[in-house]
Amino acid sequence: MSEGEDKAGSGGSATLVSLIPPETAKSVPLIAFNRLELNEILRVYGRMVAAGEWRDYAIDHLRDKAVFSIFRRSSEMPLYKVVKDPELRNRQGAYAVIATGGYIMKRGHDLRQVLAVLDTKLKVVQS
């Protein structure tokens, strides 16, 4: 092998080394939004993007909850967070809309009803 050759390019196989100890490397299920839930969220999100109110979003899948964060600009704090927390499904409901300061705007069992707090529809105003 010459000086400029790479070991991986010489036909040798690379070895993958796990940095996580085997006893903690068990698969941890993450909470996620399913397709129907994402369709409901993106329906409202798309309407608000078309109105020029929102511009960016982020989805986080964590061990205890899933979060859909809505931003006016990507460099700011999220305006709203749509949270799915299955541990609360038997109490207040698994879904919540949370405003920037941590204020819970709406919580419930039905995602469509919870998202209604964000879905501002245009109204005809008499002049």
Name, in order, each residue with C-beta under 8 angstroms of 49's C-beta and a sequence gap of 6 or more: 55
pLDDT digits (tens, 9 = 90+) for 67-103: 999 998 777 789 999 999 888 888 888 899 999 888 9
H-run or E-run covering 59 = strand 56-61
How many residues appear in the chain? 127
Average of pLDDT values for 1-12? 53
Per-residue pLDDT band at 119 (split at 50, 70, 90): confident
CA gap 100, 47 in Å, rounded: 20
- As a whole number, mean pLDDT of residues 13-41 equals 78
- The mean of the pLDDT values for the chain is 81
Domain ranges of the chain: 35-115
Please state the rounded mean pLDDT for residues 41-51: 91
Q: What is the DSSP letter of 118?
A: T
